[in-house]
Amino acid sequence: MANYLPIIILVEPQLAENVGMAARAMMNCGLPDMRLVRPREDHVGAKAIAASSNAEEILCQATLFETVEDAVADLNFVVATTARHRDQTKPVLSAEFAALKMNELCKNKQKCGILFGPERTGLTNHDVCLADAIINIPLNPKHCSLNLSQAVLLVGYEIFKTQVQQQNEELITNHSTITTRNKVIRFCEYIEEKMADCGNFKTEERRDKLVTNLRNIFMRNQLTEQELNTLYGVINHLIRR
Amino acid sequence: MANYLPIIILVEPQLAENVGMAARAMMNCGLPDMRLVRPREDHVGAKAIAASSNAEEILCQATLFETVEDAVADLNFVVATTARHRDQTKPVLSAEFAALKMNELCKNKQKCGILFGPERTGLTNHDVCLADAIINIPLNPKHCSLNLSQAVLLVGYEIFKTQVQQQNEELITNHSTITTRNKVIRFCEYIEEKMADCGNFKTEERRDKLVTNLRNIFMRNQLTEQELNTLYGVINHLIRR
pLDDT digits (tens, 9 = 90+) for A22-77: 999 999 999 999 999 999 999 999 999 999 998 999 999 999 999 999 999 999 99
| pLDDT attached to residue B241 | 63
Which of B169 and B92 is assigned the larger pLDDT? B92
Find residues 7-66 of chain B whose CB sits inside 8 Å of chain A.
21, 24-25, 27-30, 53-55
Contacts of B172 in chain A (CB under 8 A): 85-86, 88-92, 134
Q: Is A214 left (phi over 0), alpha (psi -120 to 50) or beta?
A: alpha
Contacts of A141 in chain B (CB under 8 A): none
pLDDT range class, residue A241, cuts 50, 70, 90: low
Measured in angstroms, the CA of B183 and the nearest CA of chain A are apart by 18
For residues A123 and A81, the answer to whether their CB atoms sit within 8 Å is yes
Interface residue B86 vs chain A (CB under 8 A):
yes
Which of B203 and B61 is assigned the larger pLDDT? B61
CA atoms B32, B37, B39, B45: torsion sign = positive
| pLDDT attached to residue B50 | 95
Residues B89, A176: C-beta atoms closer than 8 Å: yes
Residues B89, A144: C-beta atoms closer than 8 Å: no
Strands of B112-116's sheet, edge to edge? A169-172, B90-94, B133-136, B77-81, B112-116, B7-11, B34-37, B63-65
Contacts of B176 in chain A (CB under 8 A): 89
| pLDDT attached to residue A1 | 43
Measured in angstroms, the CA of B51 and the nearest CA of chain A are apart by 11
pLDDT at B25 over 90: yes
pLDDT at A144 over 90: no
CA A163 to chain centre: 11
| pLDDT attached to residue B174 | 67
Instruction: Kindly provide the b/e burial profile for residues B194-205, where b requires at least 16 CB atoms within 10 angstroms of the residue's own CB.
Output: ebeeeeeeeeee
Q: Which residue of B has its CA nearest to A99?
A: B168
Contacts of A84 in chain B (CB under 8 A): none
pLDDT digits (tens, 9 = 90+) for B112-165: 999 999 998 999 988 998 999 999 888 888 888 888 999 999 999 999 999 887
- Mean pLDDT, chain A, rounded, equals 89
Rounded (10°) angle between helices B181-197 and B225-240: 10
Q: Can you tell me the distance from the alpha carbon of B10 to that of B38, in angstroms, rounded to the nearest whole number?
A: 9
For residues A225 and A177, the answer to whether their CB atoms sit within 8 Å is yes
- Of A21-35, A146-160, B55-69, B153-167, minimum mean pLDDT range: B153-167
Decide yes or no: CATH 3.20.20.100 for domain A7-161: no
| pLDDT attached to residue A145 | 82
pLDDT range class, residue A86, cuts 50, 70, 90: low
Which of B7 and B175 is assigned the larger pLDDT? B7
- Mean pLDDT, chain B, rounded, equals 89
Contacts of A53 in chain B (CB under 8 A): 145
| pLDDT attached to residue B141 | 85
Strands of A34-37's sheet, edge to edge? A63-65, A34-37, A7-11, A112-116, A77-81, A133-136, A90-94, B169-172
Find residues 144-173 of chain B whose CB sits inside 8 Å of chain A.
144-147, 149-150, 153-154, 157, 160-161, 164, 166-173
Parallel, antiparallel, or unpaired: how do β-strands B133-136 and B63-65 relate?
A: unpaired
Mean pLDDT along residues A181-190:
89
Measure CB to CB from residue B153 to each of A86, A133, A153 and give the nearest one: A153
Which residue, among B42, B13, B8, has the nearest Cα to B23 in the 3D structure? B8
For residues B9 and B37, the answer to whether their CB atoms sit within 8 Å is yes
Mean pLDDT along residues A124-128:
90
Mean pLDDT along residues A178-194:
88
pLDDT at B87 over 80: no
Q: Can you tell me the distance from the alpha carbon of A229 to that of A187, in angstroms, rounded to the nearest whole number?
A: 10
Measured in angstroms, the CA of A19 and the nearest CA of chain B are apart by 15
Mean pLDDT along residues A83-94:
78
Residue ranges of the domains in chain B?
7-161, 181-240
- Of B102-111, B116-125, B152-161, B174-183, minimum mean pLDDT range: B174-183
Mean pLDDT along residues A216-238:
86
Residues B169, A92: C-beta atoms closer than 8 Å: yes
ipTM of the modeled complex: 0.84
For residues A64 and A56, the answer to whether their CB atoms sit within 8 Å is no
| pLDDT attached to residue B18 | 95
Mean pLDDT along residues A145-163:
93
| pLDDT attached to residue B1 | 43
| pLDDT attached to residue B79 | 94
Residue of A31, A140, A222 for testing the chain B interface, max B β-carbons within 10 Å:
A140
Interface residue B125 vs chain A (CB under 8 A):
no
Q: Express as a percent the part of chain B with pLDDT over 70.
A: 95
